[in-house]
Amino acid sequence: MKELARPAATKMLLVVLDGLGGLPVPELNGRTELEAAATPNLDALAKRSSLGLAHPVLPGIAPGSSAGHLALFGYDPLRYVIGRGVLEALGIGFDLHPGDVAVRANFATVQDTRNGPVVTDRRAGRPPTEHTRSICRRLQDAIPEIDGVRVFIEPVKEHRFVIVLRGEGLDDRVADTDPQREGMPPLQPQPLAEEARRTAMLAGTLVQRIAELVRDEPRTNFALLRGFSRRPRLDPFPERYRARAGAVAVYPMYRGLASLVGMDLLPVAGDTLADEIASLKENWPEYDYFFLHVKGTDSRGEDGDWAGKIKIIEEFDAQLPAILDLNPDALVITGDHSTPATYAAHSWHPVPFLLYSRWVLPDRDAPGFGEHACARGVLGQFPLLYTMNLLLANAGRLGKFSA
Amino acid sequence: MKELARPAATKMLLVVLDGLGGLPVPELNGRTELEAAATPNLDALAKRSSLGLAHPVLPGIAPGSSAGHLALFGYDPLRYVIGRGVLEALGIGFDLHPGDVAVRANFATVQDTRNGPVVTDRRAGRPPTEHTRSICRRLQDAIPEIDGVRVFIEPVKEHRFVIVLRGEGLDDRVADTDPQREGMPPLQPQPLAEEARRTAMLAGTLVQRIAELVRDEPRTNFALLRGFSRRPRLDPFPERYRARAGAVAVYPMYRGLASLVGMDLLPVAGDTLADEIASLKENWPEYDYFFLHVKGTDSRGEDGDWAGKIKIIEEFDAQLPAILDLNPDALVITGDHSTPATYAAHSWHPVPFLLYSRWVLPDRDAPGFGEHACARGVLGQFPLLYTMNLLLANAGRLGKFSA
């Protein structure tokens, strides 16, 4: 791709309706959320677009948010895996440097027994976030560094927090300390490679110091660590595709993922879709590629709230004319994975995919934008990983391959 | 897959109608065997299922039975190739141990000429199976072992028999001795790798001893060897998918393939479909995954007997309600390859594929279960290798990929 990509005065737009794909809802007469939503603008666009179903990873595989977005940005999610620690750090907007080791941590309850300490509650009774925030502040003040390595301790939500280690020669190949079952002793952070010996020792010291500092807490008296990880080394998006790339997203995790691949984060005034579109408009002249992220579809899907998901889709449809007014040369509207409201979780179903440009073979007979129409679409079924190929090609930004 | 698979209290069922796929039959007004068969139960199920066409290996490639089944069980048939010797041994129900070298052998007719012996009939005039059986018995008695290596000599059908070598340090990289053309001298078993030198020498000695023992036979006076092979090393199915797996099959080759990947072979009282379903029912509580094999569709297809193939499909349809009564959480009905009656052989056409669970996007407008309906199905076209992904996902037995 890097060899074929060439600059051009064209605009590409990727709209991600997070968790877009759905399944038949009995109350909707067997239609899916997307099929049941009143979407006159999407339906009209569908007839002038190519439709298809795209697989974020592989058939049958339900992806996490990072895997779906990596695919959308053209990075193979089977090759680049983002660790839990990194994802959690991105989720709170932490500015991870290359080389930093990020760890997802949980406050837990540990009790002493004849056989030593055992974990009695892996989530310390889900403490209020405010409580976690105040302990993290106390820990951060007490442990600014260990052995020359900077330590960041940041609260997330309820029992969850993030630890980031920053210094020379760190390595993320360290095993989880969470025993995964209650009644078991917490594990030591074991190095999984010779080069990770020092990081594992630092982590061991850190766990001990935290334990001393919280030992008098009634429930949050221990910390379990998981998902030691570093930012993956990715070819920066703007160089790879020779396109200035701007991301319009409200949620920290998606901003983090965009910044991880090297996109610029565009300021958004508020957290509504209208705010996002205003940001898109304002920055339109400055970039070649835009990533616009809409979170609500996934959140409502995960809640099992099909009516709420429909409402978000309809809100998006109402704003679609404003997006089309920008006149993108190549436009994709899709999801990073499916989150059917009936399933109430990320699922493995391929996502509805709409590609619009002046160079598409249109699905002129499509009844609208929906899962069944996409299943019969002219794009067929394909890996979501090819999204960038399609955007670049349709925007006239890809040279011919081979002679 | 091994990392994502997790145990659950759900049941998966794979029904293989061997050689299911067909082509238009002129006498059936251009409908295929499956389309012409009266299958009210399959047709009703199709409207509640996802349909598709699955490629056993690659477009244009007609697979052997082992390749198709490996794909169905989730083992890439391009990576794991089952040698002809092993397949022949499985076909007679021979209990192959890891390390055994199996060889497919033919009785042939050889004549001495001025330039030494040449093969005049590679199949020795297709002797009756009974004749082959009696010679094999005589050879087995005379050659129980060579140089400390056990030798098994087992008849198959007509001129075909199987030789299995069992001992330490054997290697299957030995060239065929069949010159493939009449009028040519039989070849020596050449080692294809240094480590196979001893096995090749043993094979040479064996061929010589057999030749001495049958030299007075008028036609079956020589043995040609092909397909030296060992059992491939496969990750055992139950560990790979964390599922107890039971196989219901009547034909030895399919029982052999199932046992090769580590499934339990379930006893079947007779050789009818009803017997197979009775076995399925009886063992239903004990297993998580079931492989049910129906051979007739392929046999009739190979005979060019479209009416017979239709009859087998209709028999299966009549039994389908009994299968559905078991209430599998995820059900696939498909073939291991196509055997169109008009083609009368395994073909390269993708196989009709039906997936049923409570989590499918249904092909509600499908006219029934048939090749054309499957070509327009919501699963599109995909590698048969993903069958296990789909079964596991639909049975709630796969965790999310990546964070």
Could you report the per-residue pLDDT of A221-242, keeping only the tens digit for each? 999 999 999 999 899 999 999 9
Q: Say yes or no for a CB contact (<8 Å) between B400 and A82.
A: no
Query: Chain-wide mean pLDDT for chain B?
Result: 96
The token pair that represents B238 in the structure block: 């139950």
CATH number at A12-81+234-394: 3.40.720.10
Q: Which residue type occupies B57?
A: V
Q: Does A132 touch chain B (CB under 8 A)?
A: no
Q: Say yes or no for a CB contact (<8 Å) between A60 and B393.
A: yes
Span A323-342, pLDDT tens digits: 999 999 999 999 999 999 99
Pair B35, B368: CB distance under 8 Å:
yes
Burial of residue B265 (CB within 10 Å: 0-12, 13-18, 19+) is middle
d(CA A312, CA A319): 11
d(CA A56, CA A62): 8
Q: How many CB atoms lie within 10 A of CB B226?
A: 18
Residue of A nearest to B380 (CA): A381
Paired with B116 in beta bridges are B113
Nearest-by-Cβ selection for A346 from B386, B394, B400: B400
Q: Say yes or no for a CB contact (<8 Å) between B403 and A64.
A: yes
Residue of B nearest to A66 (CA): B403
**What one-character DSSP code corresponds to residue A225?**
E
The token pair that represents A241 in the structure block: 């595709």
Residue of A nearest to B383 (CA): A59
Element (H, E) at B226: strand B222-229
> How far apart are the CA of A233 and the nearest CA of chain B, in angstroms?
17
> How far apart are the CA of B399 and the nearest CA of chain A, in angstroms?
7
Instruction: Please determine, for residue B403, whether its predicted confidence score (pLDDT) is greater than 80.
Output: no
Q: Does B400 touch chain A (CB under 8 A)?
A: yes
Pair B41, B47: CB distance under 8 Å:
no
Instruction: Please determine, for residue A146, whether its predicted confidence score (pLDDT) is greater than 90.
Output: yes
Burial of residue B259 (CB within 10 Å: 0-12, 13-18, 19+) is middle
Residue of A nearest to B403 (CA): A64
Q: What share of chain A is helix, strand, coil (3-state, %, to 5)?
A: 35, 25, 45
Average pLDDT over every residue of B219-238: 95
Span B149-171, pLDDT tens digits: 999 999 998 999 999 999 999 99
> How far apart are the CA of B377 and the nearest CA of chain A, in angstroms?
7
Which residues in A lie closer than 8 A to residue B380 (C-beta atoms)? 53, 375, 380-381
Q: Say yes or no for a CB contact (<8 Å) between B401 and A65.
A: no
Give the best residue of B14, B361, B397 to mutate against chain A (max A CB count within 10 A): B361
d(CA B121, CA A324): 75
Domain coordinates in residue numbering, chain B: 12-81+233-394, 87-229
> How far apart are the CA of B383 and the nearest CA of chain A, in angstroms?
9
Which residues in A lie closer than 8 A to residue B391 (C-beta atoms)? 60
**DSSP-assigned letters across all residues of B281-348:** HHHGGG-SEEEEEE-HHHHHHHTT-HHHHHHHHHHHHHHHHHHHTT--SEEEEE-SSB--TTTTS-B-
Nearest-by-Cβ selection for B359 from A61, A343, A371: A343
Pair B70, B77: CB distance under 8 Å:
yes
Q: Does A160 touch chain B (CB under 8 A)?
A: no
Instruction: Please determine, for residue A374, whether its predicted confidence score (pLDDT) is greater than 90.
Output: yes
Q: Return the percentage of chain B with pLDDT > 90, whole number.
A: 95
d(CA A101, CA B394): 36
Confidence of residue B393 (pLDDT cuts 50, 70, 90): very high
Q: Say yes or no for a CB contact (<8 Å) between B402 and A53.
A: no
pLDDT at A30: 94
Average pLDDT over every residue of A116-140: 95
How many whole angstroms from its chain centre is CA A280?
20
Nearest-by-Cβ selection for B402 from A63, A340, A348: A63
Span B30-85, pLDDT tens digits: 999 999 999 999 999 999 999 999 999 999 999 999 999 999 999 999 999 999 99
Span A274-304, pLDDT tens digits: 999 999 999 999 999 999 999 999 999 999 9
Pair B368, B313: CB distance under 8 Å:
no
Lay out the sheet containing A245-248: strands in order across: A264-265, A245-248, A289-294, A12-17, A330-334, A351-357, A50-55, A380-383
Nearest-by-Cβ selection for A63 from B380, B391, B401: B401
Q: Does B4 touch chain A (CB under 8 A)?
A: yes
Which residues in B lie closer than 8 A to residue A77 (C-beta atoms)? 401-402
Radius of gyration for the alpha carbons in chain B, expressed in angstroms and rounded: 23
Read off the pTM: 0.91
Length reported for chain B: 403
Q: Does A344 touch chain B (CB under 8 A)?
A: no
| B325-342 per-residue burial string, b: 16 or more CB within 10 A, e: under 16 | eeebbbbbbbbbbbbbbb
Q: Does A60 touch chain B (CB under 8 A)?
A: yes
**Residue keyed to tokens 């190949």:** A173
Please identify among residues 259-278 of chain B the ones whose CB lies closer than 8 Å to any CB of chain A. none
Paired with B139 in beta bridges are none
Q: Does B382 touch chain A (CB under 8 A)?
A: yes
* Nearest to B80, CA basis, from B232, B261, B237, B264: B232
Nearest-by-Cβ selection for A53 from B4, B380, B391: B380
Q: Say yes or no for a CB contact (<8 Å) between B362 and A62.
A: no
pLDDT at A42: 98
Which residues in A lie closer than 8 A to residue B362 (C-beta atoms)? 24, 30
Q: Which residues, 6 or more positions from A200, have their beta carbon under 8 angstroms from its beta carbon?
A: A174, A175, A189, A190, A191
Give the best residue of B47, B358, B402 to mutate against chain A (max A CB count within 10 A): B402
**Beta pairing, strands B50-55 & B380-383:** parallel
d(CA B189, CA B230): 16
Span B310-322, pLDDT tens digits: 999 999 999 999 9
Instruction: Please determine, for residue A265, whether its predicted confidence score (pLDDT) is greater than 90.
Output: yes
Pair B225, B208: CB distance under 8 Å:
no
The token pair that represents B128 in the structure block: 């009756």
Which residues in B lie closer than 8 A to residue A30 (C-beta atoms)? 362, 364
Q: Which residues, 6 or more positions from A32, have their beta carbon under 8 angstroms from its beta carbon?
A: A21, A22, A23, A24, A25, A340, A370, A371, B361
Q: Taken in order A369, A373, A379, A384, is the CA torsion positive or negative?
A: positive
| A378 three-state secondary structure | coil
Q: Say yes or no for a CB contact (<8 Å) between B361 and A343.
A: no
Q: To which CATH superfamily is domain B12-81+233-394 assigned?
A: Alkaline Phosphatase, subunit A (3.40.720.10)
Q: Does B403 touch chain A (CB under 8 A)?
A: yes
Residue of B nearest to A339 (CA): B359
Nearest-by-Cβ selection for B401 from A32, A67, A227: A67
> How far apart are the CA of A286 and the nearest CA of chain B, in angstroms?
32
| A83 three-state secondary structure | coil
Q: Say yes or no for a CB contact (<8 Å) between B402 and A77.
A: yes
Q: Say yes or no for a CB contact (<8 Å) between A346 and B378.
A: no
Pair A253, A90: CB distance under 8 Å:
yes
Q: Say yes or no for a CB contact (<8 Å) between A60 and B389.
A: yes
> How far apart are the CA of B245 and the nearest CA of chain A, in angstroms?
19
Q: Say yes or no for a CB contact (<8 Å) between A61 and B362.
A: no
Nearest-by-Cβ selection for A59 from B360, B376, B386: B386
Please state the ipTM of this predicted complex: 0.89
Q: Say yes or no for a CB contact (<8 Å) between A77 and B359.
A: no
Instruction: Please determine, for residue B3, whether its predicted confidence score (pLDDT) is greater than 90.
Output: no
**DSSP-assigned letters across all residues of A143-178:** -SEETTEEEEEEE-STTEEEEEEESTT----B----
Please identify among residues 167-186 of chain A the ones whose CB lies closer than 8 Å to any CB of chain B. none
Q: Does A339 touch chain B (CB under 8 A)?
A: no
Start-to-end C-alpha separation, chain A: 16
Measured CA distances, B251 to A162, A366, B72 (Å): 57, 47, 17
Burial of residue B168 (CB within 10 Å: 0-12, 13-18, 19+) is exposed
Q: Does B377 touch chain A (CB under 8 A)?
A: yes
pLDDT at B314: 98
Pair A161, A102: CB distance under 8 Å:
no
The token pair that represents A294 in the structure block: 């809409």
Radius of gyration for the alpha carbons in chain A, expressed in angstroms and rounded: 23
pLDDT at A252: 87
| B188 three-state secondary structure | coil
d(CA A4, CA A393): 10
